[in-house]
Amino acid sequence: MDQFVCDACGYVYDPAVGDPDHGIAPGTPFEALPDDWTCPLCGLGKDIFSKV
């Protein structure tokens, strides 16, 4: 699965890890994240992320 990086702060969303602190289970692809999911570091939306 592809990783995605926040263009604002550099946070990398890794589907293998997910975002368990925000209820996103490991194995969740970026495309399956809820529309209201935001970067855990800077709070910006999915539209700010680019494929690594």
**Domain ranges for the chain:** 4-51
Does pLDDT of 51 surpass 90?
A: yes
Are the beta carbons of 6 and 48 closer than 8 angstroms?
Answer: yes
Distance of CA 18 to the CA centre of its chain: 7
Are the beta carbons of 11 and 44 closer than 8 angstroms?
Answer: no
**Which one is the CATH code of 4-51: 2.20.28.10, 3.30.365.10, 3.40.640.10, 3.30.750.24?**
2.20.28.10
pLDDT score for 1: 87
Residues 6+ apart with CB under 8 A from 18: 24, 25, 26, 27, 28
What does the longest C-alpha to C-alpha distance in the chain come to? 24
Structure tokens at 2: 């592809």
Q: Which pLDDT tens digit goes with each residue over 5-50?
A: 999 999 999 999 999 999 999 999 999 999 999 999 999 999 999 9
